[in-house]
Structure 1
C-alpha cells in the first residue's frame, strides 16, 4: 500500500449558508487556502466538517468538491463510517471512495458501542477489511459520540493487513504515541497526531505528520513547524513557535468550529460563521479572545518571517 504524504493534513471545515445549506463556493475557496498554506493532504468530511450533521449526499458532495478542487495537487481522504452495521458501512466506503479520494477513514467509535470488547472490534474491522477490496483505509480516534482509543497491539494487528495508510491519533499521550509508532514501524500506516502539545515530540519520534484542528486557523504555522522541526539552525525558532502553539491551543476550542470560521473571516476569507452544531452564543469576552489570537498569529509570523496566505 502506497504511503500517504508526510506533513500537514488539516481536518477540514464545512462552510454553510445562513439557510444551513453547504456553501460550495466557500468550500472551494477554503480548499485552495489549505493548499496555498502548504498542506500536504486534506481530511475532508471529518468531525471538524460537522460530518454527523450531514446527510450521506452532503458527505459525498463535500468530498467530491474537495477532490475536484485539489485536482491531484495533494491527496484527499474522507470518512466512510456512519453505522455499526458493517454491510451499510462497507457500502458507503465503496461509494465515497469512488469520488477519487486516496483513502477512506473509519472512525473507531462506529463499528461497536463503547462497552464492546477489543475482540468484538477486531471481528467487525476484519469483516469490513475483507468486504472493501483493496481500498486504502484510515483510522480516526474520533471523540464523538465517544472516544475509542486504539491500543498499540491492535494498531499493529491492523497495520499487518497492509490496507491502512492513516491513523489520526487523539490519545494526547506521548507514551502511547511512542508505542504506536514502534508498533507500526516499517508499515504503510502513518501516525498523524491531532494533539498540538505532543505534536513536535511525536514528529521527532517518527510521526508522519499532524492533523490538528488548529490548522483551520493558522496552517502556515504548522507548515513552518513541519518544514524546520529537524533543522538544527532553526531549533530556537521552533522552540518559540511550539510554545506559542501550545498557548494558542488553549483558546481555539471556544465554540469550535464557529470560532475557526470567525477567525478565517477576520483573516479575510469569504466564509460565514454558521454551524449545524448547537453552540452557546459568543460573548464579548469570546470575541476579544479571537481578536487576541489573530494578533498573536500576526506577531509570530512577523517574528519568524513566516509568509501568511492572503485571503
Structure 2
C-alpha cells in the first residue's frame, strides 16, 4: 500500500483534521457509500487531513474488520489528496495492539493513533504507561504514530514531560489534545518544537488561543456540524483584519459547546441531515436521546451558523452539494 504523505519529508498539514462520523444504514450496517460521500464533504469544506476510526466514528462499536474496512474506504476515497490517520490500539496486550497498528497502517494511512487510556489502566502509573508506549514503538517498526487523549474508557492525559520523551523517539507526529488547559497546551507545543509533530486541539473554548500559541490545527467534534467555520478559524486566526470576526466566531464556539456535545453523535448526524446531507440518525453508541427540545435548539443554532457564514462570505459546502 502506498502512503501518500511520507513523515520523513513532511509533518501532517496545518489546519482542520476532522474526527469523522461513521454513517450507518437504518439496518445498522455501515453505510460505506455514505462514508465515501461524507469524506468528500469534509474535503470540500477544506479539511487538510482526516481522522478515521475514532471515537466519533463509533470505533468501539465497530468490529475489527469494520475498523479496517472503514479506514480503507476513507483512504481509497481520499486517494492521496490529504493524509488520513486512524486509531490502531484497542483492548489487549501490547503485542496484540502492535499487530493491529501494523494492519491499520497497511490500509495506507499516514499515521496510526494510539488511545492513551488503552495503554495503561487508570490505576497504573505514568512509568507503566511510558514503558508500554516504548514497547509499542519498538514493536511497530517505523510506523508513524499519534496520540489521542480519548475520554473512553477513561481520560488519560499525557503531560508535557511524558510527551517530550515520546516525541524525542521521532515516531509521534500527531497529538489530539483534550487537556482543556491552555497553559499545558503551550507547554506541549513547546516540547514538540523542532520535531515532525503537530498538536491538534479538540477543545474549542481554546481554539483561537491554541492556534495563536502554535497548535498545528483543530480536531474537534464541531467539525461534524459546521466544518466550514472550523476551517475558517484555522485559516484566519492570525488575520489582523478579521479581529472582530475572529472574536465573534470564538464566542460562538464557546456558547454552542454544551449543545454540540448533547446526544452526540446523533445530534451531529441530525445537523448534517438538516443541512442537506443524506445520513441516517442510526447510531450504535448508547447515548442520550435526541429530544424534540434538543432538535429545536440545534435548528436555531444552524440558523445562526448560516447567518455567521453569510456575514463572513463563506459559501456553505452543503449548498454547493445541493446545487450539483
The answer, yes or no, to whether TM exceeds 0.5 is yes
State the superposition RMSD in angstroms.
0.9
**How far does residue 270 in structure 1 lie from its aligned partner after superposition?**
0.9
TM-score by length of 2: 0.94
- State the partner residue of 2:116: 108
TM-score by length of 1: 0.98
- State the partner residue of 2:4: none
**Residue in structure 2 matching 1:183, options 171, 191, 201:** 191
After superposition, residues 193-232 of structure 1 pair within 5 angstroms as: 193-232=201-240
- State the partner residue of 2:91: 83
> For residues 222 and 100 of structure 1, what CA distance do their matches in structure 2 show?
26
Task: Report the number of matched residues.
Answer: 311
**How far does residue 3 in structure 1 lie from its aligned partner after superposition?**
0.7
After superposition, residues 113-124 of structure 1 pair within 5 angstroms as: 113-124=121-132
**How far does residue 84 in structure 1 lie from its aligned partner after superposition?**
3.9
Instruction: Please give the per-residue CA displacement for 1:244-296, whole angstroms capped at 9, x wherever unaligned.
Output: 12112221111000000010001111100110012233222111011111111
Match status 1:17 vs 2:36: no
After superposition, residues 232-311 of structure 1 pair within 5 angstroms as: 232-309=240-317, 310=319, 311=321
> For residues 88 and 102 of structure 2, what CA distance do their matches in structure 1 show?
8
**Residue in structure 1 matching 2:100, options 92, 96, 110:** 92
> For residues 145 and 306 of structure 1, what CA distance do their matches in structure 2 show?
38
- State the partner residue of 1:74: 82
> For residues 263 and 35 of structure 1, what CA distance do their matches in structure 2 show?
18
Task: Assess if the C-alpha contact under 8 Å between 2:208 and 2:237 holds in 1.
Answer: yes
**How far does residue 184 in structure 1 lie from its aligned partner after superposition?**
1.3
Task: Assess if the C-alpha contact under 8 Å between 1:37 and 1:223 holds in 2.
Answer: yes
Task: Assess if the C-alpha contact under 8 Å between 2:266 and 2:290 holds in 1.
Answer: no
**How far does residue 88 in structure 1 lie from its aligned partner after superposition?**
0.4
In structure 1, list runs of 5 or more residues that go unmatched: none
Instruction: Please give the per-residue CA displacement for 1:68-112, whole angstroms capped at 9, x wherever unaligned.
Output: 001111110000000240110000000110000000000000111
> For residues 248 and 283 of structure 1, what CA distance do their matches in structure 2 show?
17
Bigger mean CA deviation after superposition, 252-261 or 222-231:
222-231
